[in-house]
Amino acid sequence: MTLPRPYGLAAEFEDADQLLTAARAARAEGYRRFEGYSPYPIRELFEVIPQGNVTAKFVLPGLVFGAGVAGGFLGYYMQYFIAAVVYPTDIAGKPLNSWLAFVVITAAIALLFALITAFGGTLFFEKFPRIYNPLFRIPTFHRVSNDGFFLCIEATDGHFHPNRTARFLASLEPLQVWEVDCE
H-helix or E-strand spanning residue 176 = strand 176-181
Query: For position 180, what pLDDT does the model report?
Result: 92
Comparing CA positions, the residue from 109, 104, 122 lying closest to residue 52 is 122
Query: For position 53, what pLDDT does the model report?
Result: 64
* In a shared domain, residues 158 and 68: no
63/96 Cα distance (integer angstroms):
32
Residue 154 domain-assigned? yes
Query: For position 132, what pLDDT does the model report?
Result: 85
Residue 1 domain-assigned? no
94/86 Cα distance (integer angstroms):
17
Residue 91 domain-assigned? yes
Residue 27 domain-assigned? yes
CA dist list (Å): 103 to 44, 79, 94, 95, 146 = 47, 10, 16, 15, 53
* In a shared domain, residues 139 and 175: yes
* In a shared domain, residues 112 and 141: no
Task: Let me know: does 80 contact 106? Beta carbons within 8 Å.
Answer: no
Query: For position 13, what pLDDT does the model report?
Result: 95
Domain total of the chain? 2
Order of strands, sheet of 6-13, starting from the edge strand that comes earlier in the sequence: 34-37, 149-154, 6-13, 176-181
With 0-12 CB in 10 A as exposed, 13-18 as middle and 19+ as buried, what is 122? Answer: middle
Query: For position 2, what pLDDT does the model report?
Result: 63
CA dist list (Å): 120 to 61, 67, 84, 113, 165 = 12, 12, 34, 11, 35
Query: For position 96, what pLDDT does the model report?
Result: 84
pLDDT along the chain (183 residues), means of 10: 79 94 94 92 88 77 97 96 89 83 95 97 85 89 92 91 93 93 80
Extended beta strands in 38-175, E state = 149-154
* In a shared domain, residues 17 and 30: yes
> Angle at the Cα of 19 (from 17 to 23), degrees rounded to 5?
115
**Residue numbers of the domain that contains 153:** 6-52+131-181
